[in-house]
């Protein structure tokens, strides 16, 4: 009769406890040298990662934001020079990955054992990108809740968040989403339309 395999009775090595403060310090030290940074927003909305990023000022940061992300946070990210994508995410905790090699789930800071694989899975969730346009309103189409900028081949959809339409000739700043889904025409789905002072 065959014997029991030895691996059934061998003890697994104990996992060393993680010191979240030490992990946060490691991340802070590596940020300035990272060539590529990915931040996927969970329930904390970058509460711990964003201050580190803003201090380190890395060159290339991509942020994945779920559709319900607050407009003020999107503006903060865009104004900081980050590339911000809308993504089909439902994360309990934020995820920060450096150069697709090392990463953390936070808060508390917990190392990711499979940062490379997870990064690629997260990047496949992108649905569109957020951006800011400034310009003079050209044509307004109230029935369709659309308007265009002068000298731009772009429609702005004010119905996306039920925003009031600007007037022709008005200078505005639009924070919006350009979706990868559903249209061949470039459409900016407006999240916020704000008047700009006359130049």
Quick one: 24 and 119 in the same domain? yes
Quick one: 164 and 71 in the same domain? no
Quick one: 37 and 113 in the same domain? yes
CATH number assigned to the domain comprising residue 70:
3.30.870.10
CATH number assigned to the domain comprising residue 145:
2.40.50.320
**What predicted TM-score, i.e. pTM, was given to this entire model?**
0.86
H-helix segments, 62-104? 71-79
Quick one: 137 and 120 in the same domain? no
In degrees and rounded to multiples of 5, residue 33 shows phi and psi of -100, -10
Quick one: 134 and 182 in the same domain? yes
How many Cβ atoms sit within 10 Å of the Cβ of residue 190?
A: 25
Q: How many domains does the chain have?
A: 2
Q: Is residue 13 part of a domain?
A: no
Q: Do residues 95 and 104 touch, judged by C-beta distance below 8 A?
A: yes
Q: How far is CA 72 from CA 68, 79, 191, in A?
A: 12, 10, 10
Q: Is residue 141 part of a domain?
A: yes
Per DSSP (E only), the strands in the chain are 37-40, 61-65, 83-87, 94-98, 102-106, 110-111, 126-141, 146-149, 155-157, 171-179, 187-195
Q: How far apart are CA 175 and CA 131, in angstroms?
A: 6
Q: Is residue 1 part of a domain?
A: no
Whether residue 99 has a cis bond before it, omega within 30° of 0: no
Please give the chain's pLDDT, 199 residues, in tens: 555 555 555 555 555 677 889 999 999 999 989 999 999 999 999 999 999 999 888 889 999 999 999 999 999 999 999 999 999 999 999 999 999 999 999 989 999 999 999 999 999 999 999 999 999 999 999 999 999 999 888 999 999 999 999 999 999 999 999 988 766 678 999 999 999 987 6
Q: Is residue 12 part of a domain?
A: no
Token pair of 134 as six digits: 């400034």
Task: Tell me what pLDDT residue 95 has.
Answer: 97
H-helix segments, 14-159? 20-31, 49-56, 71-79, 115-123
Quick one: 144 and 71 in the same domain? no
Q: How far apart are CA 83 and CA 78, in angstroms?
A: 7
Structural domain of residue 173, as residue ranges?
A: 129-195
34-73 burial, b at 16+ Cβ within 10 Å, e below that, comes to beebbbbbbeeebebbbebbeebebeebbbbbbeebeeeb
């Amino acid at each position: 009769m065959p014997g029991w395999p030895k691996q059934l009775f061998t003890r697994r090595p104990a996992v060393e406890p993680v010191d979240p403060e030490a992990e946060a310090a490691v991340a802070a030290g590596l940020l300035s040298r990272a060539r590529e940074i990915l931040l996927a927003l969970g329930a904390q909305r970058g509460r711990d990662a964003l201050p580190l990023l803003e201090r380190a000022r890395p060159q290339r940061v991509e942020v994945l934001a779920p559709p319900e992300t607050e407009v003020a946070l999107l503006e903060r990210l865009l104004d900081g020079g980050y590339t911000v994508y809308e993504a089909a995410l439902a994360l309990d905790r934020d995820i920060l990955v450096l150069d697709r090699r090392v990463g953390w789930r936070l808060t508390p800071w917990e190392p990711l054992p499979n940062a490379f694989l997870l990064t690629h899975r997260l990047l496949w969730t992108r649905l569109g990108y957020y951006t800011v346009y400034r310009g003079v309103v050209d044509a307004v189409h109230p029935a369709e809740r659309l308007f265009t900028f002068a000298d731009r081949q772009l429609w702005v959809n004010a119905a996306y968040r039920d925003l009031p339409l600007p007037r022709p000739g008005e200078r505005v700043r639009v924070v919006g989403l350009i979706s990868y889904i559903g249209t061949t025409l470039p459409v900016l789905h407006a999240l916020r339309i704000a008047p700009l002072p006359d130049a």
